[in-house]
Amino acid sequence: MTSFSIDRDDEALRCLVEALTESGQAVSIFDAEDNLRYANKTYWGMFLGNYEGPFTFADITRHAHRNGLGVRIDDGDVEAFLARTLARRRCVPRKSFETDLVDGRWFWIDHTILPNGWILSVGADITALKNNEKSLRQAHEAALKASQTDQLTGLPNRRHTLGLLDAVLATSEATEAGLCIAVLDIDHFKVINDTHGHEAGDAVLEHFARSCQARVRAQDHLGRTGGEEFLLLPEVRLDHAVRIIERIRDGFPAATLKHNGLELPSTFSAGVAEALPDDDRSSILRRADRALYTAKAEGRNRTKIGSAEEG
C-alpha cells in the first residue's frame, strides 16, 4: 500500500516514488470511489498507524478518530464531520486549506481532483509557522493590553478609559438602562505623598483601586485617569450610580491601610453626572468635574451631583 509496483528499469519513476515516500510532506491518492491507492510514510503515520483496512476515506477517518490520530474534530462527532467533509470533498477541482491534527501539528493541504476523478492530496507541515503566528498574536495582545493599562493599579489607563466613555456614550441612547459617570478623587492625596513619600501614596492608590473593584459590578467600567483621580462608568440611572459610589465609600475607610508601620486613613470625593441625549465626552465630564469641585469645597468625603443646567 505504501509504494507503487513499478518497473525496476524506470529509474526516474522509482526515484520519484522514493522521494514521495520519504518526503516530510503528507501525500495521498484516492481513486474515484474514495479508496486509498497510495500513501507515503508521513500520511500513513498521520492517519493509519497499524491500520489494516478497509481503506476508504470514511473508514480511515473513523479509524484515526478512534485511535487518537488524524485531524482534530472539535465536537468529537466523527460522523457529523464525515457528513460535512464528504459533501464538499469534490465540490471544486482544487482547493487549499489548513488543518490541525490531534497531536498538535498543523498542515497546509493542497487538494486536487485529477482528470480521472482521483484525488491527490499534498500536505506541508506548517506547525512552526503557526507557533510563530501564535507567539506574535500573544505578543501583540500583551502589548495592546499594556498600552491600555495603568501600570500601578492594573486598571484601564486614561486613554483607554476615555475611549470606553466615548463608546458607552455612543450606545447609551439605544438602551433604557441609562448611563452615569463619576469622577472619584482621593482627598488630601498630596499631603500623603509629601508626609509619607510616594511609596505610601502608591500604596493608597492601589488600595483604593482594589476597594473600588471589589464594590462595583462586573459590567461597570473603572479606570485611573491620572494622579489620584479615577473615572467610574456605571450604565445605570443616577440614583443607582450614587448607591454604587456610597458602597465604595463605606468600604474604603473601613479598613485603614497599614503600610510600613504607618496607618494611612484616607477618603475620597466624587462628582457624578447622568448622560443627557446630546452629551459628548466634554459636556458630561464638565458636569461631573464641577460636581467634584463642589464636593471638595463643601468639606470633601462626599458625593455631589452635576446639574444638567451646568452642561
N residues, the chain: 311
pLDDT of 18 reads 65
Range of the domain at 267: 149-310
Q: Are residues 191 and 304 in the same domain?
A: yes
Alpha carbon 65 to its chain's center: 30
Q: Which of 228, 246, 298, 310 is catalytic?
A: 228
Q: Tell me the pairing of strands 257-259 and 221-226.
A: unpaired
- 123 and 162 fall within a common domain: no
| pTM greater than the 0.85 cutoff | no
Query: The CATH number of the domain where 33 resides is what?
Result: 3.30.450.20
1 domain residue, yes or no: no
Using one digit for the tens of pLDDT, what is the confidence trace for 179-232? 999 999 999 999 988 888 899 899 999 999 999 999 999 999 999 999 999 999
22 or 118, higher pLDDT: 118
**CA–CA separation, 120 and 132 (whole Å):** 29
Mean pLDDT within 248-256: 76
Which pLDDT score, from 0 to 100, does residue 22 have? 67
**Beta pairing class for 268-274 and 303-305:** parallel
Regarding whether 298 and 154 lie in a shared domain, the answer is yes
Rounded to an integer, the average pLDDT of 9-36 is: 76
Domain count within the chain: 2
C-alpha cell at 283: 459636556
Instruction: Clarify whether residues 176 and 110 are in a common domain.
Output: no
96 and 154, same domain (yes or no): no
- Under the banding of pLDDT at 50, 70 and 90, the label for residue 124 is very high
In a domain, residue 5? The reply is no
Annotated catalytic, 18? no
Whether residue 262 sits in one domain with residue 159: yes
> How many whole angstroms separate alpha carbon 253 and alpha carbon 105?
55
- Tell me whether residue 293 is in a domain: yes
Given a cut of 50, whether residue 20 has pLDDT beyond it is yes
Per residue in 44-98, pLDDT (tens digit) is 999 998 898 899 999 999 999 999 999 999 999 999 999 999 999 988 999 999 9
CA distance 56 to 60: 6
